[in-house]
Amino acid sequence: MNFGILNTIFNKGFTQSEIDKIGNSLIYITSVLGEISKTKALKLLYFLEEKSINDTGIPFFGLEWKVWKLGPVDQTIYSEFSNSPDLLKDYIDISFRDNNICMLKGIKDFSDDEFSDYDLMLIEKVVESLGYFSASELSELTHKKGGLWDKVATEKGLLEKFNNGLQTTSDYHIEFFNLIKSDELKVQMFNNYFDLKGVDRQYSY
């Protein structure tokens, strides 16, 4: 039996190092900002992903960001934030306000084991520049005209459905490749990342 593959299945397709990086990113963010809403947490994780790809071609997390009405969403992470955490139970605590807003906070000290020097610089920069925006202000940024979310939502005919309340989710993905397609080196780094990720997931323990 291949216990590496089995472990990844139990982790909903994530390796332990990927879980550690997501969890510790949330610990870092909430250590600086305090308790934050589910929506704000998702937005900040997304901007880490987008900024890292734009800068280097390498994703920060390699999550599967789909085009939903409320913005880019990784479905597994959204679920983690909406209920009692499973993958992230050792990193965050979820609570609900009276108006049923989901809030989260870190529950242990930050560990940088899964972070490069660039990663640490980037997360500090994103929290410093965007961390004090409200969730609605961050949503405006992800929905801006000509942005990655807007391009897919427009091309796939989702905007009208979202605006009219006919649809709130979709299976279309954010096309990060559009950020870097004119830079051959970044494209190579982007492709290499996902090639290596497939190997890591196959042989993770």
Q: For residue 192, is pLDDT > 90?
A: yes
Tell me the pLDDT band of 7, cut-offs 50, 70 and 90: very low
Give pLDDT, residue 12: 67
Give pLDDT, residue 10: 45
Distance CA 47, CA 153 (A): 18
Q: For residue 204, is pLDDT > 50?
A: no
Sign (positive or negative) of CA dihedral 176, 25, 19, 143: negative
Give pLDDT, residue 6: 36
Residue 44 to residues 47, 48, 79, Cα–Cα distance (Å): 5, 6, 16
Give pLDDT, residue 4: 41
Residue 177 or residue 100, greater confidence: 177
Q: What are the helix and strand counts (H, E) for the chain?
A: 10, 5
Give pLDDT, residue 200: 57
Tens digits of per-residue pLDDT, 87-145? 999 999 999 887 788 999 999 999 999 999 999 999 999 999 999 999 999 999 999 99
- φ/ψ of residue 147, rounded to 5: -75, 175
Q: State both tokens at 132.
A: 């004090």
Tell me the pLDDT band of 205, cut-offs 50, 70 and 90: very low
Lay out the sheet containing 36-37: strands in order across: 36-37, 102-106, 92-96
Give pLDDT, residue 5: 39
Q: Does the pTM of the predicted model rise above 0.75?
A: yes
The rounded Cα 178 to chain-centroid distance in angstroms is: 18
Distance CA 180, CA 50 (A): 11
Tens digits of per-residue pLDDT, 19-69? 999 999 999 999 999 999 999 999 999 999 999 999 999 999 999 999 999
Maximum distance among all Cα pairs of the chain, rounded to whole angstroms: 50
Give pLDDT, residue 98: 77
Residue 40 near residue 134, CB atoms below 8 Å: yes
